[in-house]
Copies of this chain bind each other. A is one copy, B any other.
């Protein structure tokens, strides 16, 4: 795809360490697609609420779902302002000074109005995408939603047009005069790693599970 660079807005412009900011859809999409969960923020009676949930990107929208009984989704349903944030932690940055110690990370913030997906076909496509987002290959195996389950599932979407990524990579950056200190410095890479699957029945573990990688 041709890379699209999103227009910066007052909300998405990275003020603090602007060199970490990135507005390319390709970069933003890759982070959204790798992250297993997002944190959705919304406002209830003037105060903030932040809830973790599963998401999936399909094209130019970020989708998430839940039960119509869940507080968050009920609140968002009317087309409320949302902020969806996704963070991938890549490692600890252990600088010589506490001040410059940090983390390596890739994060995305998407601002937008969350609206309900009511079209049945779009809803089905999104539910499949959510399963595939979590575990590629799974949707061909898992039993799909019944009409009743479809009704019980609320799907919401936010357009990915007011968004930015923020990325820190690489070694610590210490003050010049600290490089001579006899203090070990470096990075400790971190990654979300699967261990062996725990089966709930006696069937063979599918390859998309046994070879799962994020």
Chain A contacts to B: CB under 8 angstroms: 11, 15-16, 36-37, 39-44, 46-52, 54, 66-67, 69-71, 81-85, 87, 89, 91-92, 94-99, 101, 103, 105, 107, 109, 111, 127-128, 130-131, 134-135, 138-139, 141-146, 149, 152-153, 171-172, 178-179, 181-201, 203-206, 209, 212
Contact = CB atoms under 8 A, between A and B. Distances in A.
A183 B131 CA distance: 15
Given A15-B69, A141-B183, A199-B184, A49 B54 contact: no
Instruction: State the number of copies, please.
Output: 2
Contacts of A194: 91, 188-190
A52 B85 contact: yes
Contacts of A134: 92, 101, 103
A70 B184 contact: no
A203 B139 CA distance: 49
A48 B52 contact: no
- Most chain B CB inside 10 Å of its own CB: which residue of A130, A188, A190, A209: A188
A76 to B, nearest CB: 10
Given A70-B16, A101-B134, A48 B82 contact: yes
A143 B188 contact: no
14 contacts: A39-B87, A43-B47, A49-B109, A50-B50, A52-B87, A98-B142, A98-B143, A98-B144, A99-B152, A141-B183, A184-B203, A186-B209, A188-B209, A190-B192
A72 B139 CA distance: 39
Contacts of A185: 199-201
A83 to B, nearest CB: 4
Contact of A94 (B37, B95, B142): B142
A43 B48 contact: yes
B193 A186 contact: no
A209 B184 contact: yes
